[in-house]
Amino acid sequence: MPSNRPVTRFLDILDNIRLIQGYIQGMDRAAFEADSRTRDAVERCLERLSEAASKLGAQADELAPGLPWSAVRAFGNVLRHAYDQVDPARIWEIATGDLPRMAAAAEAALQRLDKVQDP
């Protein structure tokens, strides 16, 4: 069932992206891969981000089109159930390459939602 609070879900996504950005600030990929605490923290934030996307359901595609929302939702399952197969290099790619675009899309969705809620 889609969330009846899409603003909250997009804020959750942005909060977790910002946490990830703070965790990896000043790191390169080698430092990230060598730091198990940071990897664990980033993976946990990605799980929460995936859950927020799941709670948004089709609203994610409608309000923030152009992102691979089904893959975002599916990645949470990978982190939970196939955790032993998670590649730290892929986590780094997501954190440094994919999340900035997702943050921009979430911010744009929040602006659209604000206009809808405040006519």
CB 53 within 8 A of CB 60: yes
CB 111 within 8 A of CB 105: no
Average pLDDT, the chain: 93
Predicted local distance difference test score (pLDDT) of residue 3: 57
pTM above threshold 0.85: yes
CB 64 within 8 A of CB 109: yes
**Type of residue at 109:** A
Helices (H), the chain: 6-24, 29-34, 36-56, 58-63, 69-81, 88-93, 99-117
